Amino acid sequence: MMKLNFMEKLLDGVAVEWKTLGDVAELYGGLTGKNKEDFNKGNALYISYKNIFDNIEINFDKLESVKVTDSENQHEVKYGDVLFTGSSETAEEAGMSSSVTTEFEEKVFLNSFSFGVRFNDDIHIMPQFSKYLFRTQFMRNEIAKTASGVTRFNISKARFKKLLVPIPCPENPQKSLEIQTEIVRILDTFTELTAELTAELTAELTARKKQYTYYRDQLLTFEESEVGWKMLGDVAIIGTGSRNTNEAILEGKYPFFVRSQEPRTINEYEFDETAIITAGDGVGVGNVFHFVSEKYALHQRAYRIVVTDSGVLPKFLFHFIRNDFARYLKTTSVHASVTSLRKPMFEKYPVPIVSLPEQERIISILDKFDALTASITEGLPGEIELRQKQYEYYRNMLLTFPKEEVEV
C-alpha cells in the first residue's frame, strides 16, 4: 500500500492514463544501406548500440562516426527521443532503452541495430522522466515479452507498439510536468548518492591498498649488510606439476593451480604440503603467487616452491617473493618483458635470512593487511549492489502508477 499511497499523494487526485505506445508515439529505424567502409572516418555522428545499452541517457561524449550523404533518407535523432536496442542474446536484455536528454544542433543518426521512439507533440513526456520509466522492472518485463528468437532475440515492432505506457495527467500538461519533475528530482538524487557511495568505497579501497603497499615495502626491504642471504634453490625445493588445464572441473574437492591468477578445482590431488605457487608462463608470470597449505594439484607449467630450510618460514618467504620477485626479474639479465620462467631463475633468486621472531612479526602484520584489503575488496561489490537494489526499489516505487484494465 505504501507504493500506491505515495503515488496517490503525488498525483493529488489527477488521472493517469495508460496508452499503447503506438497511439502516443512513432517508431523509426536506424541507419540503412551502410557497409563497413562507411564507418571508417565518416562525416556524420551516430549513436551506437553499446551507447544505448550501457546508459539510461545517451552519452554524447561517445558518439561514433559514419559516412552519410545529403541524398540519403536517413532518420535523424532528436532531443526527447527514447532509443532502444533491437536485439540481444536473451529476451531479458533485448530492447534496452536510453533517452536523449541533451539538446544538440548537429545531425545525429542511430545505429542500424537499434530503433527510436518519438512521442507525439500532444504527449508531454520529459526525456529525463522517460530515461527512468523504460528502465523500471515492470516496463522491462513487458518489453522482454515483445522479443522472440532462439539464439538471438529480436524485438517485434508490432508487439512493441502495443506496450502500455503511463501518461500522468494528460489533460493538464503543466501538472503532468510537475509530477514528472518531482519524480526525476528524487531519482536523480538517488542516482547521485549511489555514484558518490561507489566513488567513496573505491577511493577507500585504493587508499588502503596504497597504505598496505607502503608498509609491505618497508617491512620487506633489507639492506645487503643488514641480513644474511641465500639462494632460493638452497632453502627450497622447486618443481612443477603434471596436470593439464582441461582437467579442471567445477566444484571439485581440491584447488587446482593452473597458469592463471585464480585457482580452479579438481577431484584428485597431486601434492599435500605447504607451498608457494606461481605460473611458469602466461597470465601473471612473475607477479602472481599463491600460498597453499593443503592438498592440491598443479599444472605442468606452474611452479611449486616448498621450503626445506628450518630457518625460513614459508609464509614469510611467500610475502617476500610476492613483493620482490618482479623487481628481481627486471634487474637480472632476463629481458624485462619476460613471458616464461625457467627453474634456474628461481634457484638463483636471493632471499633474506632474518631471525624467526622477526619473520613471525612481519607475517602477523602482513596477514592482517591482507585480511583487511580482502575484506574491503569483497565487501565493495556487495555494498554497491545493496545500494543499487535500494535505488531500483525506489525507482520502481516512484514509477508505479495506478493501472486500470486497458483494451489493446
For residues 21 and 153, membership in a common domain is answered with yes
Contact 96, 83 (CB under 8 A): no
Which of 154-163, 278-287, 301-310, 349-358 is predicted least confidently? 278-287
Find the domain containing 111 and state its range.
17-170
Tell how far CA 277 is from the center of its chain.
28
Single pTM value for the model? 0.63
CB burial of residue 41 (10 Å; 0-12, 13-18, 19+): exposed
Contacts of 75 (CB under 8 A, 6+ apart): 28, 29, 30, 109, 110, 116
- How many domains would you assign to the chain? 2
For residue 341, which of 278, 269, 292, 274 has the smallest C-alpha distance?
278
Residue 336 has pLDDT above 50, yes or no: no
Contact 132, 38 (CB under 8 A): no
For residues 268 and 162, membership in a common domain is answered with no
Higher-confidence residue: 34 or 8?
34
For residues 23 and 151, membership in a common domain is answered with yes
Residue 97 sits in a domain whose CATH number is 3.90.220.20
Please indicate, yes or no, if residue 193 is contained in any of the structural domains. Answer: no
For residues 27 and 147, membership in a common domain is answered with yes
Please indicate, yes or no, if residue 12 is contained in any of the structural domains. Answer: no
Which of 76-80, 161-165, 397-401 is predicted least confidently? 397-401
Strands 254-257 and 289-298: parallel
d(CA 377, CA 380): 5
Residue 316 has pLDDT above 90, yes or no: yes
For residues 30 and 128, membership in a common domain is answered with yes
Please indicate, yes or no, if residue 271 is contained in any of the structural domains. Answer: yes
Residue 405 has pLDDT above 90, yes or no: no
Contact 256, 248 (CB under 8 A): yes
Give the pLDDT confidence score for residue 4 in this predicted structure: 46
For residues 151 and 251, membership in a common domain is answered with no
Contact 95, 160 (CB under 8 A): yes
- For residue 87 the three cell numbers come to 536485439
Give the pLDDT confidence score for residue 5 in this predicted structure: 57
Tens digits of per-residue pLDDT, 197-247?
878 878 877 888 888 888 888 899 888 778 899 999 999 999 999 998 889
Give the pLDDT confidence score for residue 13 in this predicted structure: 64
For residue 177, which of 222, 240, 123, 114 has the smallest C-alpha distance?
123
Given 136, 170, 204, the domain boundary residue is 170
Q: Within 13 Å, how many C-alpha atoms sit on residue 343's CB side?
A: 12
Give the pLDDT confidence score for residue 1 in this predicted structure: 40
Given 307, 333, 353, the domain boundary residue is 353
Tens digits of per-residue pLDDT, 96-152?
999 999 999 999 999 989 999 999 999 999 999 999 999 998 899 999 999 999 889
d(CA 89, CA 165): 25
Residue 284 has pLDDT above 70, yes or no: no
% of the chain with per-residue pLDDT over 90: 56
Interaxial angle between packed helices 356-398 and 314-331, expressed in degrees from 0 to 180 and rounded to the nearest 10: 80
Contact 363, 370 (CB under 8 A): no
Compute the average pLDDT of residues 56-77.
94
Average pLDDT across the chain, whole number: 87
Residue 315 has pLDDT above 70, yes or no: yes
Contact 316, 362 (CB under 8 A): yes
For residues 161 and 246, membership in a common domain is answered with no
Please indicate, yes or no, if residue 134 is contained in any of the structural domains. Answer: yes
Contacts of 396 (CB under 8 A, 6+ apart): 136, 137, 138
Please indicate, yes or no, if residue 395 is contained in any of the structural domains. Answer: no
Compute the average pLDDT of residues 283-303.
88
Cα angle 32, 37, 38 (rounded to 5 degrees) comes to: 40
Contacts of 225 (CB under 8 A, 6+ apart): none
Residue 174 has pLDDT above 50, yes or no: yes
Contact 384, 198 (CB under 8 A): yes
For residues 157 and 228, membership in a common domain is answered with no
CB burial of residue 163 (10 Å; 0-12, 13-18, 19+): buried
Residue 335 has pLDDT above 50, yes or no: no
Please indicate, yes or no, if residue 379 is contained in any of the structural domains. Answer: no
Give the pLDDT confidence score for residue 406 in this predicted structure: 46
Compute the average pLDDT of residues 323-332.
83
For residues 164 and 33, membership in a common domain is answered with yes
CB burial of residue 303 (10 Å; 0-12, 13-18, 19+): buried
Please indicate, yes or no, if residue 51 is contained in any of the structural domains. Answer: yes
For residues 234 and 132, membership in a common domain is answered with no
For residues 158 and 271, membership in a common domain is answered with no
For residues 123 and 231, membership in a common domain is answered with no
